[in-house]
Structure 1
Amino acid sequence: MTDGTTGNVRVLVVDDQAVVRAGFAAVVDAEPDLDVVGEAADGADAVRLAAELGPDVVLMDIRMPGMDGLTATRLLTGGPEPVPRVLVLTTFDQDAYVHDALRAGASGFLLKDALPEELLAGIRVVASGEAMLAPTVTRRLIDTFAGTEPAPDPVLLESLTPRESEVLALVAAGHTNAEIAEALGVTTGTVKSHVNALLKKLGLRDRVQATILAYDLGLARPRGTAG
Structure 2
Amino acid sequence: MSLVVEEKPICRSALGQILLECRGQGQPRFASSMEEAIDEISIAKPSVTLVDLFTANYDFQKLKQLVVHAKPGMVIVVDDRVTPAFASLAKWAGAAGYLTKDLDVEAFKHAITTAIDGGVNFPADPSKSSNAQTQPATRGLSARQLEVLGQLALGKSNQEIAEALEITTGTVKTHVHTVLTLIGARNRTHAALIAGRSHASSIVR
Q: TM-score, normalised by structure 1?
A: 0.52
Q: Does residue 124 of structure 2 align to residue 138 of structure 1?
A: yes
Alignment match, 1:44: 35
User: Is this contact kept in 2: 1:57–1:126, CA < 8 A?
Assistant: no
Alignment match, 2:139: 147
**What amino acid maps onto 2:68 in structure 1?**
G
- Greater RCO (Cα-Cα under 8 Å, separation 6 or more): 2
Listed as ranges, the matches of 1:179-194 within 5 Å are none
Task: Give, in angstroms, the shift of residue 146 of structure 1.
Answer: 8.5
**What amino acid maps onto 1:110 in structure 2?**
L
Cα distance in 2 for residues equivalent to 1:122 and 1:11: 15
Cα distance in 1 for residues equivalent to 2:136 and 2:12: 30
Task: Give, in angstroms, the shift of residue 92 of structure 1.
Answer: 3.6
Task: Give, in angstroms, the shift of residue 73 of structure 1.
Answer: 2.5
Flag structure 2 segments of 5+ consecutive residues without an equivalent: 129-134, 143-200
**What amino acid maps onto 2:31 in structure 1?**
A
**What amino acid maps onto 1:74 in structure 2?**
K
1:165-201 per-residue CA deviation (whole Å, 9 max, x = no partner) reads xxxxxxxxxxxxxxxxxxxxxxxxxxxxxxxxxxxxx
User: Is this contact kept in 1: 2:96–2:120, CA < 8 A?
Assistant: yes
Alignment match, 2:92: 103
Q: Does residue 83 of structure 2 align to residue 83 of structure 1?
A: no
Cα distance in 2 for residues equivalent to 1:123 and 1:52: 23
Aligned length: 137
**What amino acid maps onto 2:113 in structure 1?**
R
Which of residues 113, 116, 133 in structure 2 aligns to 1:124?
113
Task: Give, in angstroms, the shift of residue 27 of structure 1.
Answer: 2.4
Cα distance in 1 for residues equivalent to 2:36 and 2:67: 15
1:109-145 per-residue CA deviation (whole Å, 9 max, x = no partner) reads 1111211112212222222222212xxx435587349
Cα distance in 1 for residues equivalent to 2:125 and 2:61: 25
Alignment match, 1:217: none
User: Is this contact kept in 2: 1:16–1:41, CA < 8 A?
Assistant: yes
Task: Give, in angstroms, the shift of residue 22 of structure 1.
Answer: 0.5
Listed as ranges, the matches of 1:27-42 within 5 Å are 27-31=18-22, 33-42=24-33
Alignment match, 1:74: 64
Listed as ranges, the matches of 1:167-186 within 5 Å are none
Which of residues 102, 111, 114 in structure 1 aligns to 2:103?
114
What SS is found at the alignment partner of 2:88? helix
Task: Give, in angstroms, the shift of residue 42 of structure 1.
Answer: 1.4
1:179-227 per-residue CA deviation (whole Å, 9 max, x = no partner) reads xxxxxxxxxxxxxxxxxxxxxxxxxxxxxxxxxxxxxxxxxxxx9xxxx
Identity among equivalent positions (%) equals: 18
What SS is found at the alignment partner of 2:49? strand
What SS is found at the alignment partner of 2:55? coil
Q: TM-score, normalised by structure 2?
A: 0.57
User: Is this contact kept in 2: 1:12–1:39, CA < 8 A?
Assistant: yes
Root-mean-square deviation over aligned CA pairs? 2.8
User: Is this contact kept in 2: 1:40–1:49, CA < 8 A?
Assistant: yes
Cα distance in 1 for residues equivalent to 2:72 and 2:66: 7
Q: In 2 relative to 1, CA 106–72 (structure 1 residues): closer, same or farther, beyond 3 Å?
A: same
